[in-house]
Amino acid sequence: MNNEIYAEDFGSLGTELLKIDYLRFNLKSHLYDGEINNLTVYFRRLEFSFYIKERDDNKKRTSIFDDKYFEVTFVLCTLYSKEAHLEFAPESTNRLYFSIKNNKFNWNQLEQYGTFLGRIDTCYDRIQKSTDKISNDKFIDVTVIQFKKILLKNNIEFRKNRGSQLTSVGHRTSDKYYRVYLKSDCLRFEFEYKHRETLNFYYNLLKIKKFKQLENRISYEFFKQTYQLFRYSQEPEKVEWIAQRLRPFQIRNSVYDLDAIINIHYIV
């Protein structure tokens, strides 16, 4: 009997109702003005507006071209390393992915600057239902209390910003960082992944156009980490989508404890 779940067990991002919310390419530590200008011109051809920020923790940015719908931001200095990077927000990430899948992206434009994939954020939006017994706010409150009991070695962050709530698990500088927060009428579960070896694997899959394998693996990593955090949730109705997705594997493997069939990776 097979007692493991593999990346191949999962489907595409669309099939799994997942989205890539953020993508970052790290570059060598310093680019000259001419090199930055080359990137600016190239991304404008791909229908991206181009912005520059001094630091990634600075909200202020300077526009170079801002006449396009999609956006790419060049960050000169990061808070946690000396590497510059290019960052893409949700819709812009989809545009970049579309360009890659349709052979409209020239990898040499990035690789000449020592580029590697530095971060990817995957998310799932759980819409508030009329049949829900508790609110999204209440779920976050309960989750924070539970996390503080069972995740003693992790940093638990909880804050409210303009009526919204956010709880985060893990160190921001670690390979894995998980957030749960309110997004309009949705409860967003978001996994920030910076594990270098895995991201190198993703990067290679992108370059050789193995998109199915790439999305299978991204989905697998997201569900694996989400299950690890919420398997014992005291408010299961908000995370029923996890159980529903993994239940077929319980049946297949004839086991009742998913710890036995998922290779768990703790956030540290």
Order across the sheet with 186-193: list the strands. 62-65, 48-55, 70-77, 85-88, 19-26, 116-127, 186-193, 176-183, 164-169, 156-161
Look at the alpha carbons of 32, 37, 43, 45 in this order and tell me if their dihedral is positive or negative. Answer: negative
Confidence of residue 139 (pLDDT cuts 50, 70, 90): very high
Residues 93 and 72 placed together within one structural domain of the fold: yes
DSSP element (H, E) containing 120? strand 116-127
Residues 218 and 85 placed together within one structural domain of the fold: no
Confidence of residue 2 (pLDDT cuts 50, 70, 90): very low
Locate 247 and state its tokens: 């239940």
Residues 77 and 201 placed together within one structural domain of the fold: no
Residues 235 and 146 placed together within one structural domain of the fold: yes
Last residue of a domain, one of 72, 89, 114: 114
Residues 133 and 184 placed together within one structural domain of the fold: yes
Residues 6 and 35 placed together within one structural domain of the fold: no
Q: Is residue 256 predicted with pLDDT exceeding 50?
A: no
| pLDDT tens per residue across span 69-125 | 999 999 987 766 677 899 998 889 999 999 999 999 999 999 999 899 999 999 999
Residues 93 and 178 placed together within one structural domain of the fold: no
- Burial classification of residue 184, based on how many CB atoms lie within 10 Å of its CB (0-12 exposed, 13-18 middle, 19 or more buried): exposed
Residue with tokens 């992790």, as numbered in its chain: 154
| pLDDT tens per residue across span 141-184 | 999 988 888 887 778 888 877 667 888 998 888 899 999 999 88
Residues 139 and 232 placed together within one structural domain of the fold: yes
Stretch 13-18: mean pLDDT: 96
Q: Is residue 268 predicted with pLDDT exceeding 90?
A: no
Last residue of a domain, one of 99, 114, 129: 114
Residues 256 and 149 placed together within one structural domain of the fold: yes
Last residue of a domain, one of 79, 114, 149: 114
**Percentage of residues in the chain with pLDDT exceeding 70?**
89
Residues 262 and 168 placed together within one structural domain of the fold: yes
| Number of independent structural domains in the chain | 2
Residues 55 and 100 placed together within one structural domain of the fold: yes
Residues 92 and 156 placed together within one structural domain of the fold: no
Distance CA 206, CA 226 (A): 24
Domain enclosing residue 219, as ranges = 1-19+121-268
Locate the DSSP E strands across 29-109.
Answer: 48-55, 62-65, 70-77, 85-88
CB atoms within 10 A of CB 79: 11
